[in-house]
Structure 1
């Protein structure tokens, strides 16, 4: 069999670079889109950001029809300077600025700068650490306290090893025997020394740090409370001896063994509930994450209005000066480069406009379908799937999925991801449909109003939903309850 050349003709679908760019921008979140725009501004000299107050012609001498469309300009009012204001002339400036500054002086002592204009430290409202400090890890917080504690070099080495073995929740993850094996035998470290240093660390802040289990964590926090705290001894005994019974909500057994009445056991349990089972979580190690809404929904004169968040959507334009340098008949390398950059800038702006238009169409249809949620809350949420929005706007479901991913809507009820408004449905007794989000809201409401002594079981909740015409199985109720972070009925039992 010898090699040969075969010519075939066929048709296939391919995506142009412009379409690929439009799809890429469509699925980006607001923060990622801003970064993408910044990279485009740095790479393409034809693109520039249009700031508020700019007044110039956006027309492109080489644009073909409506290939380049600019964002609507905002009307900005400028304040004129006072009529009697006088600007110093050149001689006045030279008299005000000396050639040399006096010895042992700083620039801020002579001239007002942004740093010297900050509020003084005496101002109670000025908190420097709140504005400049970064997130602190638990280990760095414990090491800072370790540096303030007087210790020998040997104990300090043990303490640093113990701190490294503490988890983010504040618990010691390794046993003392395992830590002892990790040390060099030449140091001649004994198990009692490690335990003594651990007791020192357990006195650090936050209270309960360095515990080996939940019982020890709660006892450490109770020991740091004032001695005159009401019901402190009973609470310590309850945690030390009957924590397992407390976890299983066996209050009758606890009262019988501790010889306490219900009104005496309740304050002890309340004191335990005020403790922190995860003391390490008090030290925030991560920076806060902010959500920038893409769409803003508001009610005006009885109508719900949908608009893009202009603060998150920068306006771009083609630089008219550079665009005017492009010559039609010139085929030089410089002119070809500028023409290519001009075409890329047009397509980038067009892709941004297409993204905004698609986002507005989808958001408007979501608001139209979920008007009941905006008016009355989660219980009025209607079932909605991607196919419904795709049919309404005449797009494919994959496009709707890209639009609703990592896009957020600001409503009077809060900020929600667009995917939040999509949910499956459950049949009702009347033949209608009820959204799973609405069912979750009803379950949350029923649990909040239940009797703490006799919490509602999943079967009971399913019966109450069926009484309202919503046919939900017990296992479905359990799934919705777990998604809401609600414990089973056996763990929700409380003393009144």
Structure 2
């Protein structure tokens, strides 16, 4: 093989730390981004928040290249400023020239910075009362132990009760048998099975009603036994819960009427009484902390026009601290000056990344609103089919960038708050050669089921026929998939007595 020198020209993308930062900020949710900004403020002395009414010099090269969308969107962008002395002017101008006007965040780089939506912690008060015991963040186990501490009970029975509470799952049912609970206790205590069952009956009187049941029948009976004796059809409801739950589950109402010897109107009242009970009493105690959604984009209608604005409350305005920036000296290689110069460069890159994120988010959100005007005007049934490629082609970016922008980003509309990915859906063909969004089809299915006859609910085949009559060609299997995604039960389980 002969060695030779060859001159070639080519282009390649260099994943610099600044570019990695821009891409990472682009895909962060609002809550995660606020945390990232706070960490940057804590670690970089050159960064500071711009308070309301602050006036500063906009002669910084970075501020001159700041994009302007509209009056409202401009308020929500990040502003920068730097008051510099003459000694640092030339040096700062050189740094500004090295920062491009647009960061090339539109790349096919893999999403290696996956983050999840952060949840805001619930603050703990030192004082608790009865009304706060079932607040968000409290577990069912701690709620039952709190009631156990208030119950008059001997130490012997209290130990048994704690073992029983430990065996109750999150739905409120007893996972272990009484024999297993007895075997877990200290044999030297000489506890008998009757004592365990007696303490179980005490625990079953705790809130919420139905707690500590061994099966669904016992859970419903515990709740029925707490109702006033004058409650209509109480005895019949107990009979159904004790002996005929299988018939009720299969909706064999004719057999139930024969067993209970009641008429259809009477059976309807009995079933309604049972349906008011909670089959999962433990679910009343919320064990998870609330997660808050902060919309990134606000959409509103003004004079028959839909306006898209960045949420000014979701993004703090940052700037370079003019005092510290003015301390940077030209041609000074001391350790302190080098540190300040590096911090100033990082601060400007960070601000530029935030500006780029806001601009990209505005472009994508504006295009989504432009294509989904029908949804904003008329609701889900007017949703148009939309995929990432459509937005990417319209704004001139890569699909991976659109995916990052629409992940964990939310839009506040007059119809509610939606994730940007909500507006993307597949399509099915219509008889006229057009396309219909899967979101619109789900809305139509939901509307048809809500208007159906409860005695004769619509089957999947019947729904497919009704959609075909409207010119929408959907297979029965697709109807079943959409129905399950909406949480709608099959027709056999939707049958009701009228």
Query: TM tier, shorter chain?
Result: 0.7 to 0.9
The CA deviation at 1:419 is: 0.3
What does residue 446 of structure 2 align with? 444
What does residue 244 of structure 2 align with? 242
Matched, 1:28 2:28: yes
User: How has the CA–CA distance of structure 1 residues 9 and 231 changed in structure 2, closer, same or farther, with 3 Å as cutoff?
Assistant: farther
Matched, 1:47 2:72: no
What's the CA shift string for 1:403-456, capped at 9, x where partnerless?
Answer: 000000000000000000000000111111000000000000000000000000
User: How has the CA–CA distance of structure 1 residues 313 and 258 changed in structure 2, closer, same or farther, with 3 Å as cutoff?
Assistant: same
User: How has the CA–CA distance of structure 1 residues 233 and 65 changed in structure 2, closer, same or farther, with 3 Å as cutoff?
Assistant: closer
Instruction: Identify the match of residue 278 of structure 1 among 280, 287, 296.
Output: 280
Secondary structure of the structure 2 residue equivalent to 1:306: strand
User: How has the CA–CA distance of structure 1 residues 188 and 353 changed in structure 2, closer, same or farther, with 3 Å as cutoff?
Assistant: same
The 2-side partners of 1:226 and 1:360 are apart by: 59
User: How has the CA–CA distance of structure 1 residues 202 and 246 changed in structure 2, closer, same or farther, with 3 Å as cutoff?
Assistant: same
User: How has the CA–CA distance of structure 1 residues 22 and 243 changed in structure 2, closer, same or farther, with 3 Å as cutoff?
Assistant: same
The 2-side partners of 1:65 and 1:381 are apart by: 39
More displaced stretch, 231-240 vs 25-34: 231-240
8 Å contact from structure 1 (residues 318, 345) kept in 2:
yes
Q: Larger C-alpha radius of gyration, 1 or 2?
A: 1
Instruction: Identify the match of residue 292 of structure 1 among 291, 294, 308.
Output: 294
8 Å contact from structure 1 (residues 68, 346) kept in 2:
no
What does residue 210 of structure 2 align with? 208
Instruction: Identify the match of residue 382 of structure 2 among 359, 380, 383.
Output: 380
What does residue 365 of structure 2 align with? 363
The CA deviation at 1:258 is: 1.4
8 Å contact from structure 2 (residues 62, 348) kept in 1:
no
User: How has the CA–CA distance of structure 1 residues 342 and 239 changed in structure 2, closer, same or farther, with 3 Å as cutoff?
Assistant: same
The 1-side partners of 2:327 and 2:131 are apart by: 51
Alpha-carbon RMSD across the aligned residues, in angstroms, is 2.4
The CA deviation at 1:73 is: 6.2
TM-score normalised to structure 1 length? 0.84
8 Å contact from structure 2 (residues 67, 359) kept in 1:
no
**Uncovered stretches (5+) of structure 1, i.e. residues with no partner:** 1-6, 75-126
Equivalence map 1:12-23=2 (5 Å): 13-23=13-23
Instruction: Identify the match of residue 389 of structure 1 among 369, 382, 391.
Output: 391
Secondary structure of the structure 2 residue equivalent to 1:374: helix
Secondary structure of the structure 2 residue equivalent to 1:288: coil
User: How has the CA–CA distance of structure 1 residues 216 and 130 changed in structure 2, closer, same or farther, with 3 Å as cutoff?
Assistant: closer
8 Å contact from structure 1 (residues 59, 320) kept in 2:
no
User: How has the CA–CA distance of structure 1 residues 9 and 130 changed in structure 2, closer, same or farther, with 3 Å as cutoff?
Assistant: farther
8 Å contact from structure 2 (residues 385, 437) kept in 1:
yes
User: How has the CA–CA distance of structure 1 residues 69 and 55 changed in structure 2, closer, same or farther, with 3 Å as cutoff?
Assistant: farther
Instruction: Identify the match of residue 180 of structure 1 among 167, 170, 182.
Output: 182
The 2-side partners of 1:128 and 1:156 are apart by: 21
Moved over 3 A (4+): 7-13, 63-74, 127-134
How many residue pairs get matched? 438
Secondary structure of the structure 2 residue equivalent to 1:40: helix
TM-score normalised to structure 2 length? 0.84
The CA deviation at 1:128 is: 11
